Structure 1
Amino acid sequence: MPTRVAVYGAGSWGTAFSMILADAGCEVSLWGRRPELIDAINSTRSNPDYLPGVTLPSGITATADAAQAAKGADVAVLTVTAQTLRPNLTTWAPLLAQDTVLVSLMKGVELSTASLMSEVIADVTGAGPERIAVVSGPNLAGEIIRRQPAASVVACADMNVAERLQAACHTPYFRPYTTTDVIGCELGGAVKNVIALAVGIADGHGLGSNTQAALITRGLAETTRLAQAMGANAQTLAGLAGMGDLVATCSSPLSRNHTFGANLGRGLTVAETTAVTKQTAEGVTSCRSVLDLARRHNVDMPLTETVVGIVHGGTSPQDAIKELMSRSAKPELH
């Protein structure tokens, strides 16, 4: 019997990951909230709103009925925006079986609680760590949907579950690795969005490769500090879920957060940038939650603090750059 997977969220990444699962031999039920989009996916075998022009495998069936998606699901993949997970999952949780494995594709931190997505899942569903997993890495949906080679990390406290999920999404073009470091994978995915905003702001402001390299490297340093303070393995942040995802998100024009930051760097306001952005840039909201986590754990995260100041405090990119560059000198490793 093929693994049956319910994917909640028919946006770019939810659709692309559904394709991966179907190509790996899973039976996929893709849930979306808009019936007109669901009808289009089923009738045209493509997602015209998010990934137009790409034919989806026959192993994917779309539905606007959350209960229908959950029926018989061995695995439930959650790929809505981070700030909507709690209310959505509160509705979906009673529909899922008690042994369904819950997988987060989301890369954000809840604003009101500063909770990681795995923590929100545990809080809402009561599931133990052996039923909660995370998939994270340099996974730009626009490239994966064209079946270009990519790699990722499947994290779960139970390695047997991680290996089951690894098999469920392993294809000739998508190579998943396994780890038990859920916290490290989640923080790498969440904080890289914040650093990508910073790199985008610098790019939009006309700054060059030296600046980009400095922001990426120092961004990784502050991400690693926070991850270690929260009990993660520093090596995780040097891998696909850390450095790999950071490089892809900070460098690619397909990155929503980089694009959002570039518009700010060119002089657009947050409201103007939001108006021209069709999809959610998770770092815009999560930067405040990441800074909250840093303060709770007494971790210095100057780039994150700078992004919060620009996005939510009205600081100009010029003033932010001057402030960063005038910080007191210190050893690189401290």
Structure 2
Amino acid sequence: MTGTRKPKRVTVVGGGAFGTALAQLCGRQGVEVRMWVMEEHARDAINNDHENKPFLPGCPLSDTITAHKEVSEALVDTEMVLFVIPTPFFRSFLVANRTLFPVDVPLVLCSKGIENDSLDTPYEIASEELPGKYLRNLACISGPSFALEVAQNQPTSVTCAAVREEIALTVQHYLSDIMFRVYVGDDIIGAELAGAVKNVLAIACGASDGFGFGYDARAALITRGLAELRRLVVAKGGKESTLMGLAGVGDLVLTCTGTLSRNYQTGKALAEGKSIDDIRNSSKAIAEGVFTAKSIYQMQERTKVDMPICGAVYKVIYEGCSIKDALHTLQSRELKKEGY
């Protein structure tokens, strides 16, 4: 599968902002892209107006991109499948469609999150729900990549991690162009956990900024948040080195400081006194960190990994703790060495 050629056809499963951005990334390279899009109004906008107005407005799309209602239609003669379905809905999608996917093409997981209760990442969900013949071709993409900037052809770099290097290299060749650079790695666990936890930490940073706590507080949250992430990744069998790369520090800094981040904006809205239900109802897009905060809290209870910042975000969202009280609890913990 490896080489420098581009695929003739790619399938994007999911019609949200990031799925649309990845479709445009492939479309601008002359690749035919078939998207599976659940929402009829989004399908109509993509097919008729060449723009996903509901989820990525203002970004013209290549005329090589089409949106389809049936999963089977989107998968015809595809050479790569990009899964961009929010993690809470990923398992049910796979269960309903697991016999439809082609066997000998890369199956690339592009969503970031941890499923509630099962505490599975997208890779773990796919490993459990897909027939064994598919598992050797699984990969994931993670890194600092806002959907809007990818769609606008801004310089972006990400990591593709896969169990088999051949698959990672194929995805690298298929997706990379002069403005979108893909690096290759092998730590799916570390990449997926980093991509999930950074969303929870971004809620904390947004809340801190929303209260006007200053740059010092945000820098501390990012740095100590990285320490929490490191402890979790090591406990789950991932690699520390992954956290020093694009999937780790790169994505963490972007999501915790970039105002395009839905998770950052969720934290800021919480600081302004809005309820989590009001925030959810006011946006068509899902802030993944809201769901992931619950998963991380469950995970730290099971693994006994110390993650106080993530725990504070959970208590603000799900237990009604005020942000000021959560900050006080964090700041008043026992003093200790900085160890990670």
Maintained 8 Å contact 1:137/1:240: yes
User: Aligned residue pairs: how many?
Assistant: 334
| Distance in structure 2 (CA, Å) of the matches to 1:323 and 1:150 | 37
Specify the alignment match of 1:50 in structure 2: 55
Specify the alignment match of 2:259 in structure 1: 253
Specify the alignment match of 1:12 in structure 2: 17
The answer for unaligned runs of 5 or more in structure 1 is none
Specify the alignment match of 1:84 in structure 2: 89
Maintained 8 Å contact 2:7/2:174: no
Q: 2:144 aligns with which of 135, 138, 141?
A: 138
Maintained 8 Å contact 2:23/2:33: yes
| Distance in structure 2 (CA, Å) of the matches to 1:5 and 1:153 | 19
Q: Aligned pair 1:116/2:121, yes or no? A: yes
| Distance in structure 2 (CA, Å) of the matches to 1:2 and 1:278 | 32
Specify the alignment match of 1:35 in structure 2: 40
Q: How far 1:25 sits from its partner (Å)? A: 4.3
SS in 2 for 1:95: coil
| Distance in structure 2 (CA, Å) of the matches to 1:56 and 1:102 | 23
Maintained 8 Å contact 2:7/2:79: no
Q: CA RMSD in A?
A: 1.4
Specify the alignment match of 2:3 in structure 1: none
Specify the alignment match of 1:299 in structure 2: 305
Specify the alignment match of 1:102 in structure 2: 107
Specify the alignment match of 1:274 in structure 2: 280
| Partner deviation per Cα, 1:231-265 (whole Å, 9 max, x = no partner) | 11111111100111011111111100000010101
Name whichever of 41-50 and 207-216 sits farther off. Answer: 41-50
Q: Aligned pair 1:162/2:168, yes or no? A: yes
The code of the aligned residue for 1:146 comes to Q
SS in 2 for 1:267: coil
Maintained 8 Å contact 1:23/1:171: no
Maintained 8 Å contact 2:41/2:54: no
Q: 2:292 aligns with which of 265, 270, 286?
A: 286
TM-score, normalising length from structure 1? 0.96
TM-score, normalising length from structure 2? 0.95
Maintained 8 Å contact 1:8/1:78: yes
The code of the aligned residue for 2:185 comes to T
Maintained 8 Å contact 1:225/1:299: yes
| Distance in structure 2 (CA, Å) of the matches to 1:84 and 1:73 | 23
| Distance in structure 1 (CA, Å) of the matches to 2:263 and 2:66 | 30
Q: How far 1:125 sits from its partner (Å)? A: 0.6
| Distance in structure 1 (CA, Å) of the matches to 2:50 and 2:122 | 30
| Distance in structure 2 (CA, Å) of the matches to 1:27 and 1:284 | 34
| Distance in structure 1 (CA, Å) of the matches to 2:301 and 2:9 | 41
| Distance in structure 1 (CA, Å) of the matches to 2:306 and 2:203 | 18
| Partner deviation per Cα, 1:270-321 (whole Å, 9 max, x = no partner) | 1222222331001101111122222322211011110111010111011111
Name whichever of 176-185 and 67-76 sits farther off. Answer: 67-76
Name whichever of 272-281 and 6-15 sits farther off. Answer: 272-281
Specify the alignment match of 1:178 in structure 2: 184
| Distance in structure 1 (CA, Å) of the matches to 2:103 and 2:247 | 29
| Distance in structure 2 (CA, Å) of the matches to 1:4 and 1:60 | 10
Q: Aligned pair 1:318/2:324, yes or no? A: yes
The answer for unaligned runs of 5 or more in structure 2 is 1-5
